[in-house]
Structure 1
Amino acid sequence: MKSNIIKKILFALTLLILSVFSNGQYAVFFAIWIFTALLLFAVRKLPRWKGFLIAFLVIGIGYYIGMDVAPFLPISSVIIITIIFSLVASLPYLIDSFFSKHRSAFISTLIFPTTAVLIEYAYHYVDPFGTWWHFAYTQESQTVLLQSVSVLGMGYITFLITWFASVSNWVYEQRNKWSNVKKGVLIYGLVLGLTLIYGAYRVQFQKPNSETIRIASISALDSLKNGIDLQGLNDKERANDVKIETRRNTSKLNQYLFDRSIAEAKAGAKIVFWAETNGIILKEDENELYRQASQIASQQDIYLGLGIAVVDPTNSKYLENKFVLFDKNGSKVIDYWKGISVPGAEAPISNNTATGIQKIETQYGTIAGVICFDLDFPNYLKGPKELIFCWRQVMIIKKLTNYILIWLSLEP
């Protein structure tokens, strides 16, 4: 009796540990493969709703710990998001339980992964955080495996992981029927093997053979940003003094970035980028900054990309998060605005514009501009029609999210 209790406790602890390392900031690529298989095993051994509850709790604990990667959200918001995600992520396990009488045939192993892929796709399509927590991100270190995404999309990685869980459990249930086991393992092994062969071929034999150039990415010193008081610009009593001080500090900051850009150009860099919002400028000084950037790009014979925060104190949404690129002639060739802000502290202050990916053909290849969180929304990046639809959809969801946070008396 005691030994059984100890075994159950150890199994539960193993599930919890694997849950923490299966996704999020602590993700280890193999953990999610083992975790999904063991959790499916555990859920199938329990009554339907008890198994669903266990899946909900275990997934939720791992998600909550891993969500520490988003410290900008209040704890209450993280708890709400955790509950929603855990409910959705547990649904494939619940649906699988309704097919307990039809698991003898190998074709039944497709029920769980197919359900998981469809639910994941639907969830991330409407999730205000985009594709955060997608299964595919857990495999970021597995270059060979990830080549399949170029053909079948991110959902294929989810399918392989969840199908592995389903096949593993099927093999266990069919362990006394070796002929069936061999056929099932052969089918899954063939699919996974072809996937890895394709990936290995791309990695080993489709390497770029063109000449390379030096590219520099520049970030500003934190100390140069400490004296910039953006909130104070909205204080009517001291707005003028703050503006003078802000202009002085942003000038130092931006000059530092320009000096670094020139130094990198002299060191041989042909393309120089500033990191997101590392440059800061008042709206009324924006054109002067561009004039200086244009001159440097032309003089140094480089492509110069500015990651800048344009601050407009006259607008309640005072932040314009931009990537602006100048070519070797000093012409502005890309003027990209961040389209989607991270819910929480960033969204209420951001003035976004859905411009879509902008690109330019150069002698070095194609240069394209897009900023951070926008990349978590594949539909936003596809094209004009999808861009408008997805942008409106995300804006509606984000507004609803902020209304909920306000209703809960939380800071949005």
Structure 2
Amino acid sequence: MWLVIGTVVALFAVGGRWDIAPAAWLFPVFLLRFARTSRPLGGLVLVWLASWAGAMFWIWQMAVPMNGTTVLAGLTFGTVLALPYVADRLLARRLGTAGALLLFPMALVVSEFLLGTFAPFGTVIGLLANTQFDHLPLLQVAAVTGSYGVGFLIGGCATVVNWAWEHPPSWRTARVVGAYIALLAVVVVGGAARTAWFPVDTTRTVRIAGLNADMALIHQQMTALGRPDVKVSAGQGALPRFDPDTVKPESTAVIDDLFARTRRAAQAGAKIVIWSENAAYVSHAGLPALLSQARSVARQEHIYLLVADNVHLPNPEDSRDETHLIGPDGTVLWTYQKSHPVPGMEPYRPGNGVAPVVSTPYGRLAGVICYDADFPAMMRADADIMLVPGGDWPEIGRVHTEMASLRAIENGYSLVRQDYVGWSAAFDNQGHVLSTQNTLVDQDLWLVDVPVRGVTTPYRVIGDAFAWLCLAGTVVLLGFGVFRRRPPAAGTPRPTTQREPEPMARQVAR
């Protein structure tokens, strides 16, 4: 029963479209109860299957194309996220009270951290903080611990509830439960105090405009290629690969429209204009002309222009998904190549993994591309505003953009994500939503006023120190649990290696 309840509830806490925030707090309670009360081998295999089912459910509901890479991704996520249950089931009873209570939440943090830092899929799936988007006071803990702190609190809830479940009511049980409630209260009340008493500085803002390539012109481009039925959906954040020079008039029309709307944005008061990911498809030979036109428009309109293009080359790995930030004087301030192409979907060679930052009159601007924002380590940029061109599809757009808001809280900058066929949004440095646009139905200019001053958060300074501490603590507890001799059960006779001496009274009597 606990397995069924835990598995069903977990389906609504996978960081997907149908998440229910309380479900993320409940499902580990039931899965942990099942793991602890079942036979080790059979029980843990079933917990692993439940974890794998959750990962595959996420892939299905997000309309991610099913192929070898995504099935392997689901298997990987399911396996790694099941490991905390394995550690708890096999070793928690060998530890003292504190160790038994801490092992599962720390191991949960470790699993999230390893996936988010070293796996090619980042935190797009498996990060429990992604399920708590509407609870900003709780999410403020990410400014100190990173988003992994939310996973620790959820894991701690599971072990504390199970501790109370396994022990009769007593002052000891009350102290354990009370200590956890106090910790959770400190986090939530502290987060509420941060948002209430230390509001975001809005005394100075900058108007930022976001825009996408025109869908009607894209359709003409695809029709000229003989592919009129191609749509940017069903798991494609970009159009299929093609040589734009083979349909040059249609390709030119798309680019000319982008620049025309860039000028309109400047006339509407925008000082920064950001294009969505892969807005302009160009050949390698056509890139200089694109940049020359971009420099001219930026200089004439006196704006910062973030051009997002896809450079076509015959070898897919040589093609590039990149951005260029151009200043008001026409200078190219950065050229950035996507550092985390989507595995199995984007064959490009990755960039250098460093988010570029430049100082401007509107604060320090930084930029990454779409999927890069799912890797917290590379998002620790010393910036005031993070610009994120994105390219999604209907099923994943809103959720993917909400995930990016965690980076704003972690690092203390505003974040603007312009998303093609998805959900554009701007967030301040505490995660408040400044503005949104559903780009599935609204292709007009999107304008938003964004604070120009960020804050330096502890997380930006210390990085993933909390996650590394959890990793070290998990290793220590695992070692202690493995090598510590399990104490005998009550009433078990103590084994002896030699004959014990007779009691003195019996010796005297003899």
Tell me whether the two structures share a fold, i.e. TM-score over 0.5. Answer: yes
Alignment partner of 1:38 is 2:30: yes
* Counterpart mapping for 1:13-412 below 5 A: 13-25=4-16, 26-68=18-60, 71-99=63-91, 101-102=93-94, 105-133=97-125, 134-174=127-167, 176-209=168-201, 210-228=203-221, 244-313=245-314, 315-347=315-347, 350-354=348-352, 356-381=354-379
Aligned CA distance change for structure 1 residues 165 and 242 (closer, same or farther; 3 Å): closer
More deviation, 263-272/354-363: 354-363
Which residue type is aligned with residue 206 of structure 1? F
Which residue type is aligned with residue 21 of structure 1? F
The C-alpha deviation readout for 1:169-212, integer Å capped at 9, x for no partner, is: 111122x2331222112211121111112211221222222222
In structure 2, distance between residues paired with 1:355 and 1:166? 37
Which residue type is aligned with residue 130 of structure 1? G
The C-alpha deviation readout for 1:25-58, integer Å capped at 9, x for no partner, is: 2322221110011111121121111220221121
Task: Please state how far the C-alpha of 1:107 moved relative to its aligned partner.
Answer: 4.7
In structure 1, distance between residues paired with 2:294 and 2:338? 20
Task: Please state how far the C-alpha of 1:382 moved relative to its aligned partner.
Answer: 5.5
Task: Please state how far the C-alpha of 1:227 moved relative to its aligned partner.
Answer: 4.5
Task: Provide the aligned length of Structure 1 versus Structure 2.
Answer: 363
Task: Please state how far the C-alpha of 1:115 moved relative to its aligned partner.
Answer: 2.0
In structure 2, distance between residues paired with 1:355 and 1:168? 41
Structure 2 equivalent of residue 401 of structure 1 = none
Q: Assess if the C-alpha contact under 8 Å between 1:358 and 1:368 holds in 2.
A: yes
* Uncovered stretches (5+) of structure 1, i.e. residues with no partner: 1-7, 233-240, 384-412
In structure 2, distance between residues paired with 1:329 and 1:78? 45
Greater share of residues in helix: 1
Task: Please state how far the C-alpha of 1:121 moved relative to its aligned partner.
Answer: 2.3
In structure 2, distance between residues paired with 1:98 and 1:242? 56
Aligned CA distance change for structure 1 residues 41 and 243 (closer, same or farther; 3 Å): closer
CA RMSD of aligned residues (A): 2.6
Task: Please state how far the C-alpha of 1:100 moved relative to its aligned partner.
Answer: 5.5
Identity, % of aligned positions:
27
Q: Assess if the C-alpha contact under 8 Å between 2:73 and 2:121 holds in 1.
A: no
Aligned CA distance change for structure 1 residues 242 and 207 (closer, same or farther; 3 Å): closer
Aligned CA distance change for structure 1 residues 256 and 168 (closer, same or farther; 3 Å): same
Aligned CA distance change for structure 1 residues 245 and 185 (closer, same or farther; 3 Å): same
Q: TM-score, normalised on structure 1?
A: 0.81
Q: Per the alignment, in what secondary structure is the counterpart of residue 345 of structure 2?
A: coil
Q: Per the alignment, in what secondary structure is the counterpart of residue 341 of structure 1?
A: coil
Aligned CA distance change for structure 1 residues 100 and 212 (closer, same or farther; 3 Å): closer
Q: Per the alignment, in what secondary structure is the counterpart of residue 39 of structure 1?
A: helix
The C-alpha deviation readout for 1:256-301, integer Å capped at 9, x for no partner, is: 1111111111111111100111122221121111111111112212
In structure 2, distance between residues paired with 1:244 and 1:34? 55
Task: Please state how far the C-alpha of 1:83 moved relative to its aligned partner.
Answer: 2.4
In structure 2, distance between residues paired with 1:316 and 1:86? 31
Q: Assess if the C-alpha contact under 8 Å between 1:22 and 1:29 holds in 2.
A: yes
Q: Per the alignment, in what secondary structure is the counterpart of residue 130 of structure 1?
A: coil
Task: Please state how far the C-alpha of 1:135 moved relative to its aligned partner.
Answer: 2.1
In structure 2, distance between residues paired with 1:171 and 1:227? 64
Q: Per the alignment, in what secondary structure is the counterpart of residue 265 of structure 1?
A: helix
Q: Per the alignment, in what secondary structure is the counterpart of residue 321 of structure 1?
A: strand
In structure 2, distance between residues paired with 1:191 and 1:335? 45
Aligned CA distance change for structure 1 residues 243 and 110 (closer, same or farther; 3 Å): closer
Which residue type is aligned with residue 138 of structure 1? T
Aligned CA distance change for structure 1 residues 106 and 181 (closer, same or farther; 3 Å): farther
More deviation, 131-140/302-311: 131-140
In structure 2, distance between residues paired with 1:157 and 1:69? 24
In structure 2, distance between residues paired with 1:242 and 1:62? 39
**Bigger radius of gyration among the two:** 2
Task: Please state how far the C-alpha of 1:242 moved relative to its aligned partner.
Answer: 6.5
Q: Per the alignment, in what secondary structure is the counterpart of residue 56 of structure 1?
A: helix
In structure 1, distance between residues paired with 2:106 and 2:4? 28
The C-alpha deviation readout for 1:155-180, integer Å capped at 9, x for no partner, is: 21111110110001111122x23312
Aligned CA distance change for structure 1 residues 99 and 141 (closer, same or farther; 3 Å): same
In structure 1, distance between residues paired with 2:319 and 2:135? 37
In structure 1, distance between residues paired with 2:297 and 2:184? 51
In structure 1, distance between residues paired with 2:244 and 2:360? 39
Which residue type is aligned with residue 322 of structure 1? E
In structure 2, distance between residues paired with 1:374 and 1:224? 28
In structure 2, distance between residues paired with 1:310 and 1:69? 31
Larger RCO, structures 1/2 (Cα 8 Å, 6+ apart): 2
Aligned CA distance change for structure 1 residues 196 and 24 (closer, same or farther; 3 Å): closer
